[in-house]
Amino acid sequence: MNREQKVEQVGDLHKRFAATPFVVLADFKGSTVAQMDSLRRSCEKGGVHFRVVKNTLAVRALEGTGKEGLADHFRGNIGVLIANEDPVGTAKLVGKYAKENAKILVRAGFFEGDLLDEKGVAAVAELPSKEELQSKLLATLQAGPRDLLGVLQGAPRDLLYLLSNFADKVAARGDSGGAEAPAAAGSDTPAEP
């Protein structure tokens, strides 16, 4: 790799580091080519940028991004996973592959201004995904109008049930021959002839 290619790679990485809220550094020493290809394909599908870079270039790319704390973790064979839009999805993807392949070890992560260890990255994976949060928000937004509609429909519905029950009682009295019962029920004095 010549100097121009290195400068271009550092510039690209710098832009990605600066733009993302979530970065994971994973050690992949001992993994097979097939395992790494599988990880790369999954990253592409999930919108995650995965790259193996020279550690010195990666450390240079971190400068001025606010993620300089990751520089100490660039030792050995490190793969960099950079989230695009869904940091939680990226963490879940890394966790899934770390479980399937014991040779992939999470070295460090960076999420929303905090340097994370392996447990911290696992904690991010436990957060609800973007889609789950959107569905919960939608359900919350729909609950207000739905509850209001139930309240507004309640009074007419209750009045309808009351009138229906009253009509049933009147009909039942009419069938039993007690047509004078409503007048007698309203007063304690006998009806005048």
Q: Where are the domains of the chain?
A: 3-127, 134-186
pLDDT at 184: 46
Tens-place pLDDT, residues 53-63: 888 888 888 88
Asked if CATH classification 3.30.70.1730 holds for the domain at 3-127, the reply, yes or no, is yes
Q: Of 155, 35, 186, whose CA–CA distance to 103 is shortest? A: 35
Please say whether the beta carbons of 57 and 8 come within 8 A: no
pTM assigned to the model: 0.63
What average pLDDT score do residues 8-37 get? 86
